Amino acid sequence: MKTESGLRFIAWQMLTGDRPKYFGLVLAIAFSTFLMSHQMSIFVGLLDRTRSQIRDVQDASVWVMDPKTQYVDEVRALSFQDLYYVRGVEGVQWAVPLLKGVVRAKAADGTFRNSILMGVDDASLTGLPQKFLAGDWRALRNPKTVAIDRVGYEYFFGRRPYQTGQELELGPQVVRVGAVVDASPPFVNLPVIYARFSEALDMAGREPRQLSFILCKARPGVNEEDLCRRINAATGLKSLTSGAFGRDTIWYYIRNTGIPINFGITISIALLVGALVSGQTFSLFILENMKYFGALKAIGVTSARIVGMIVMQALIVLAIGYSVGISLTALFFELTKDNLDLRGFRLLPEIMLLTGGLIFAVVLVATILSVRRVVVADPAVVFRG
């Protein structure tokens, strides 16, 4: 019975027999895969950071804000009257204030840094992250007590183990650290400090003594989008679900900062470099083997079967190179997951798929060009020394 295993054996030997070229091919594809998946992961992670404070509020599902608010870091204060209006809208189970401001924090040794101050509802503490690394939510019941995130803790008090009880100056106030929380990393890697709303107003110093957002929960059975429309109609305020507000924030950064353009350029360069390196290396490999493919054609191997051999070689280097490259990216994020500047960046399955698709396209184009060269090559070339 006729079998193609013989030709597959020849193709495999041709590919792997020349170790330097074989490793060069695999490394070219691995390098391109790493470059693309790594840069895309950083880009996506960076955009995801822009909505970190929205994501950390897990109790409330609807955000109410000034009608002109575009994203979470651009705050125009609301009045307490607005809070009462929102509470009166049909379908609102509860509504609480949230203060978001920037405050200069100073440790006892004089170390200071601008920090994000989040004032959460006194009674429910809605908006406080739910993962505690030291202390717990009960500490915020005490007067002049705050919770601080990992970045802030390590900046002001040094590395782990996390402990409580240290003092911080927040504006005109001296407060005690009652808990360390695992907050999502914000876009700008500033410390995040959580205090009860009533105390945060005093800590915010010159910030307006008003609230930044109103956080709501819909009554059971009430559609959140419907509730947003109702709040908007009743109060004139902008009202968005957490998901929609997060997306708006991401899009604001995409539209109004150089991040997407710069990362787009970087990713394009990564793709281009990857395509050139992989394509060039693979084309050179085929070019150097042209006379042997020509000899096979002369001996009686059809063009279709030679194409099959080349496609097999391409798929092997693609599979191995992609696996190595994507593993390197995964390893990078695994090794850096505890680094405070890099936490939150990770390799998403979508990025693995997208990178796989892109690198497949690169190898496909290189293969098509190489195959074309072999197929259209004058078979009589083997008789020309």
Partner 1 sequence: MSGSDNGRVAVVCRGVEKAFGTGNTRLQVLRGVNLEAPYGELTFLLGPSGSGKTTLLSIIAGLLKQDQGGVQVLGQDLRKLRNGEAALFRLRNIGFVFQQFNLIPALTAAENTAVPLLAAGWKRKAAIGQAREFLADLGMAHRADEVPSKLSGGEQQRVAFARALIQSPKLVICDEPTSALDGPTGRRVMELLRRIALSPDRAVLVVTHDFRILEFADRVAEIRDGVIEKVTTTGGAR
Q: Establish if 311 lies at the interface with partner 1 (CB under 8 A).
A: no
**Residue from 106, 291, 346, 373 binding partner 1 (CB under 8 A):** 291
Q: Establish if 372 lies at the interface with partner 1 (CB under 8 A).
A: no
Span from 94-102, 301-309, 344-352, 358-366 in contact with partner 1 (CB under 8 A) = 301-309
3 or 81: CB nearest partner 1:
3
The C-alpha atoms of residue 248 and residue 242 are separated, in whole angstroms, by 10
Residues 6+ apart with CB under 8 A from 236: 67
Residue 160 CB, nearest distance to partner 1 (Å)?
55
Q: Let me know: does 166 contact 191? Beta carbons within 8 Å.
A: no
**Residue from 58, 163, 198, 302 binding partner 1 (CB under 8 A):** 302
Per DSSP, 172 falls in state: T
Secondary element (H or E) of residue 296: helix 290-299
**What are the tokens at 260?**
């997407």
Q: Establish if 10 lies at the interface with partner 1 (CB under 8 A).
A: yes
Residues 6+ apart with CB under 8 A from 209: 201
**Residue from 13, 79, 114, 198 binding partner 1 (CB under 8 A):** 13
The C-alpha atoms of residue 76 and residue 67 are separated, in whole angstroms, by 9
Q: Establish if 206 lies at the interface with partner 1 (CB under 8 A).
A: no
Give CA torsion, residues 187, 208, 198, 116, to 10 deg: 20
Q: Establish if 6 lies at the interface with partner 1 (CB under 8 A).
A: yes
Q: Establish if 7 lies at the interface with partner 1 (CB under 8 A).
A: yes
Residue 9 CB, nearest distance to partner 1 (Å)?
5
**Residue from 221, 300, 349, 376 binding partner 1 (CB under 8 A):** 300
**What are the tokens at 166?**
């240290």
Amino acid at the residue 74: E
Q: Enumerate binding residues for partner 1 (CB under 8 A).
A: 1-7, 9-10, 13-14, 16-18, 291-292, 294-305, 378-380, 382-385
